[in-house]
Amino acid sequence: MLLQTNSYLVPREKRVEHSRLLARFRQTLARLGCTHFEAYEQVGSNWSPTESTGRFVQIMRFRDRKHQLSVQAAERNDPSAQQLIREFCDLINFSYQQQQGLFAVGFYSGAIPMTAKATEVSDSAPAASEDLSAALEPGPTMTNPMGSPPQNLTSLTQRQAVTPGRIPPRPGPMKPSV
């Protein structure tokens, strides 16, 4: 099992359009073979919605590296997916977020094997009896040819400059959890 996350900021005035784009992402990715796409907004301590930071994270799940590469190839060859990516990049001002280190990508492989019950529930997970080594393959290597907008939802920063792990701190003072 492989996960990819894309984390970025969305200005308050663009959140309605962002929600529309996320729904289109889900449809497009499902059509191209990635049936697990989620998006979340970061909230304040104790899940307080009043302390919204405007930071969102997208999560895409793939069976293995081969599955991720097949979805990525399908995105490159799909004009509607390319248009959706351009709209997303324009909406969040991708080039600015990239330059400022505000857009972050993460690649994760499964840390614990899924149980047989969990694989039955997930339509995209490898069967429990399959060799788990494929699911534990390392994620894609990121490179840095700056300039052009990304061509794939699943590789938004493979061709962009990214400072791994650099996420700006939350604005304001930190509140101790009680």
159: tokens are 């061709």
Grade residue 5 by pLDDT with cuts at 50, 70 and 90.
very high
Residue 96's CATH number: 3.30.70.100
pLDDT at 119: 52
Domain range spanning residue 103? 2-155
Query: Could you read off the pLDDT of 23-38 as tens digits, one per residue?
Result: 999 999 999 999 999 9
pLDDT at 151: 56
Provide the percentage of residues in the chain whose pLDDT is more than 70.
63
Query: Could you read off the pLDDT of 47-82 as tens digits, one per residue?
Result: 877 777 899 999 999 999 999 999 999 999 999 999
Question: For the residues 125-151, what does the mean pLDDT come to?
Answer: 40
Q: Is the residue at 165 inside a domain?
A: no
Domain count, the chain: 1
36: tokens are 């697990």
Q: Is the residue at 16 inside a domain?
A: yes
Q: Is the residue at 171 inside a domain?
A: no
pLDDT at 111: 87
Q: Is the residue at 164 inside a domain?
A: no
Q: Is the residue at 17 inside a domain?
A: yes
Q: Is the residue at 135 inside a domain?
A: yes
Q: Is the residue at 112 inside a domain?
A: yes
Average pLDDT, the chain: 76
Quick check: 168 pLDDT over 50?
no
pLDDT at 26: 96
Q: Is the residue at 22 inside a domain?
A: yes
pLDDT at 155: 56
